[in-house]
Amino acid sequence: MTSAPRLLTDPFLQLPTETSVRVVWFTEFAGAKHKVAYGENLKQTSYASTTKLSRTREDQRSRVANQTQDGQVYQKPVLRNIWRHEAEVTGLTPGVRANYRVTSIREDGESVSSDVFTLAPTPKADTALKILLTSDHQLKPMTEVNLQKVVETVGRVDAVWFAGDLINVSDRASEWFDDNRGTALFPGLQGRAKYEIEHNGIKTTYTGGQIIQHAPMFTCIGNHEVMGRFARKQSLNDEFDDTFPREVAQKFYRNKSLRDSSFNTNTYEEIFTLPQSKEGGKRYYAVSFGDVRLVVLYATNMWRTPKLDGKYVSRYREAEKDLNHPENWGYGQIIYEPIDRGSKQYNWLEQELKSPEFKQAKYKVVMFHHPPHTLGDNIVPAYTNPLQIIERNEADNIKAIRYEYPKDKDYLIRDVMPLLEAANVQLVFYGHSHLWNRFVSSNGMHFLETSNVGNTYGAAWGDRKREIPIGYKEDYVMLGDPNELEPVLPTIAPLLDKDGKPLPYIASNDITAFSIFDTGTGIVSSYRFDTRKPDLDVLKFDEFKLK
C-alpha cells in the first residue's frame, strides 16, 4: 500500500512586490499538480511551477529517518530527490492580509494540503513593521527555543532578515528539511520542530515558531552556504571543506565547470527566490520593504582552523603532508566574492548607495555575514586575500607554506565601511561569531551581531583571549575588537560577570538572544531567554534607536 503523500515543508513567502508575493514549498514527489488557494473563502487559485533540486544529497553524517552517527544508512553521498514548487499570488492590496493554503497532488491522484496561513504584498512606506534579525542557526541547540520565544514575545513578525549560515552543509538535504534531531532549518522557522532541552532532570520540548509561513525572509550567503569542489570527496563534510580558488581552478581544471571545480552556492540559490541585482544575481542585492532599504552583500570567506601544528589545512599554513600536492592546498581563508574597491560588487554597492530608492528610504540597513567589528574569534585574520609565502630549503624543496593577511588591506574596514558611513547607513547587521554584541562608530553608525541563537564559541573578553598566530607578521589584539571599536553595554539589563560587572556581550550555551527592529519607532530591541529557567519570561536587555 502506498503511503499518503506529505509536504516536506509548510509553504513560506518570498519576493513580495506591491501587488504580489511568491509562495514556495517542497515535496519528495514530482506531482501532477501543485496550487495555492487564496483570498476570500480561498476561492482564487494560482498554479505552481515545479523544479527539482539538483544537488541535495545525504551521506554518512546525515541524521535522517533512522540513521544515527553509529547506525549509518548512507556510506557515501547519495542523491535525494526533492521538488520545489513556487506560485505567484497576484492582485494583492498593500496592508491587507489574505488567507492561503497550498495543495500538492501526487501522480496517483492522492493529494495533501497545508494548513491555512496568511500572506501580504510589500508594505507601503510609513507602515510600522516588526522585523526579526537572526543568523547562524546551523542546527544548533536552542535555535528552536529562540524562534519559539520570538513568536511568544512579539507575535507575528512582518519579515525575517537572516545574516547567513542557515545550515552547516548546504547540499545535505536533511539539514534544510528533516534532520531527525529536530533542528533542521525549515521546521524551526515554521513551528514544526521538536527539540528537547534538559536541565536538572526536567525536560522541556520546543517547536520553533510559525514565522515564515506569514512573513517573507531575506537572506545572505554565509560561509556555510558555500560548497567546495563537486563530488571530489567521499563525504559532504569533506566536500564542503574542499573550496578552491577560482583562479587556481582555471589552471587545474580546464575542461570542467568553474563552479564544480572551485566552489558553488547552487543549492542555496535553488532553494530561495530573492531579489536580484544585474551584477550579482541573488548573491548580492537591494530591496525596499516599508520604510527600509535593505542592502545585502556577499561578504564571507572560507573558515579554516587556526591550528599551527602542520597536521591540518589551516588559515595560516598548509598541511605538511600536502606541501607537494597543490591540488590539496587550502589556499588560506579564500574570499568567495571580491568586495574591495574597484571590484564588481563594490562598484554595484557604490551605485546602489546613490540610487533614489536608497537615498529616499527612512532607514538604510546593510546586511552581510562576516563581522567588521566583534568580540568573537572569527574576525581574525583580516578580511583580505591571503598572501601566500612559500619557504624552501637549500635543495629548493618546499619546507613550509604559510599565509599572511595584511591588516591595512582589510576590505571591509578599508573600503566598505567608509562607503557606508558616507552614505548615512544607520545599521550594519551581520553574524558569524555566534554571540550577541554591538558597536557604534564615531559617526553614529550602529553595528549589530545577534547570532547567539543556539550556541557560542565565546568572546575575547576578561580572562578569555582570542587565539592568534605566533610569529606571523600581523599583530592582532587578544581582547576586544581588533578593529578598535569599544563594545556597547546593553542599555537595560546586561549580564554580569563573576565580580558583578556588566558584560557587553552574550556568549552562552544556556542563554539565547534575538533582536527585533520596529520600523514604527526606529528601535532595535534585543531579548534573551535562559533555558535553565524555562518558567521565567523572556527579558528585554538592550535597545537603541536609529536616527
Q: What is the CATH number of the domain that holds 444?
A: 3.60.21.10
**Are 130 and 146 part of one and the same domain?**
yes
Read out DSSP for 69-116? SSS-S-SS-EE---EEEEEEE-S--TT--EEEEEEEE-TTS-EEE---
Mean pLDDT calculated for residue range 357-375: 98
Domain membership of residue 486 (yes or no) is yes
Q: Is the dihedral of CA 39, 41, 42, 43 positive or negative?
A: negative
Last residue of a domain, one of 104, 122, 140: 122
**258 is in which domain, residue-wise?**
229-263
Q: Are residues 258 and 269 in the same domain?
A: no
Residue 1 has pLDDT above 60, yes or no: no
Q: Is the pLDDT of residue 442 over 70?
A: yes
Q: Are residues 80 and 213 in the same domain?
A: no
pLDDT band at 471; cut points 50, 70, 90: confident
Q: Which of 453, 333, 436 is nearest to 386 (CA)?
A: 333
Strand pairing category for 523-530 and 505-506: unpaired
Which of 405, 369, 377, 375 lies closest to 481, judged by CA? Answer: 375
- The answer on 78 and 89 residing in a single domain is yes
- Is the confidence at residue 71, as pLDDT, over 70? no
pTM: 0.97
Task: Please give the backbone phi and psi of residue 426, each rounded to the nearest 5 degrees, phi first.
Answer: -90, -30
The reply to whether 327 falls in a domain is: no
**How many domains are there within the chain?**
3
- Burial classification of residue 322, based on how many CB atoms lie within 10 Å of its CB (0-12 exposed, 13-18 middle, 19 or more buried): middle
Q: What is the mean pLDDT of residues 6-22?
A: 98
Predicted confidence band at 367 (pLDDT cuts at 50, 70, 90)? very high
Same structural domain, 6 and 40: yes
Instruction: Tell me whether residue 400 is in a domain.
Output: no
388 belongs to a structural domain: no
pLDDT of res. 74:
83
Q: Which of 122, 137, 171 is the last residue of a domain?
A: 122
Cell numbers found for residue 406: 595584511
pLDDT digits (tens, 9 = 90+) for 269-328: 999 999 999 999 999 999 999 999 999 999 999 999 998 888 989 999 999 999 999 999
Max intra-chain CA distance, the chain: 82
30 lies in the same domain as 79? yes
Please say if the pLDDT value at position 70 is more than 90: no
Q: Which residues pair with 217 in a beta bridge?
A: 160
Q: What is the mean pLDDT of residues 466-475?
A: 86
Under the banding of pLDDT at 50, 70 and 90, the label for residue 69 is low
What is the mean predicted confidence (pLDDT) over 408-435?
Answer: 98
Q: What is the DSSP string of 99-161?
A: EEEEEEE-TTS-EEE---EEE--PPPTT---EEEEE---TT-TTHHHHHHHHHHHH-S-SEEE
Q: What is the mean pLDDT of the chain?
A: 96
236 plus 154 within the same structural domain: no
Q: Where are the alpha helices (DSSP H) in 292-390?
A: 344-352, 356-359
pLDDT of 85-121, one tens digit each? 999 999 999 999 999 999 999 999 999 999 999 999 9
Same-domain status, 417 and 537: yes
Same domain, 107 and 255: no
Residue type, 247: E
φ and ψ at 542, to 5 degrees?
Answer: -155, 150
Residue 537 lies in a domain: yes
Q: What is the pLDDT of residue 68?
A: 66
Place of cell 599565509: 403
Rounded Cα gap, residues 215 and 134, in angstroms? 14
Distance, first Cα to last Cα, the chain:
62
Q: What is the mean pLDDT of residues 24-39?
A: 97
CATH code assigned at 95: 2.60.40.10
Report CA dihedral (456, 462, 463, 466) to the nearest 10 degrees. 60
State mean pLDDT over 349-355.
98
Percent of the chain with pLDDT over 90: 93
| 242 within 8 A of 180, measured Cβ to Cβ | no
**Long-range CB contacts (< 8 A, 24+ apart) of 240-248?**
240/168, 240/169, 240/170, 240/171, 241/313, 243/302, 243/334, 243/336, 244/331, 245/331, 245/334, 248/326, 248/331
In-domain check, residue 381: no
Q: pLDDT class for 193, splitting at 50, 70, 90?
A: very high
Q: Supply 405's cell numbers.
A: 593577511
Q: Which three cell numbers stand for residue 153?
A: 514575545
- DSSP letter string over 176-218? HHT-TTS--HHHHHBT---EEEEETTEEEEE---B-TTTS-EE
Element (H, E) at 421: helix 417-422
**pLDDT > 70 in the chain, percent:** 99
Confirm if 363 and 522 have CB atoms less than 8 A apart.
yes
Identify whether residues 354 and 485 lie together within a single domain: yes
In this structure, the answer to whether residues 159 and 253 fall within a common structural domain is no
> Is residue 408 in a domain?
no
Question: What digits encode the pLDDT tens for the residues 94-104?
Answer: 999 999 999 99
Alpha carbons 34 and 90: distance in angstroms, whole number:
16
Please give the average per-residue pLDDT across 194-201, as a whole number.
92
Beta-carbon contacts of residue 402 (< 8 Å; ≥ 6 apart): 316, 317, 318, 388, 389, 391, 472
Helix/strand/coil for 506: strand
Are 47 and 30 in contact by the 8 Å Cβ rule? The answer is no
Strands (E), 333-432: 363-367, 387-392, 398-404, 427-430
What's the CA gap between 512 and 204, in Å, rounded? 15
Q: Which of 211, 238, 263 represents a domain boundary (last residue)? A: 263
144/249 same-domain check = no
> Residue 398: inside a domain, yes or no?
no
Grid look-up 519559539 returns 148
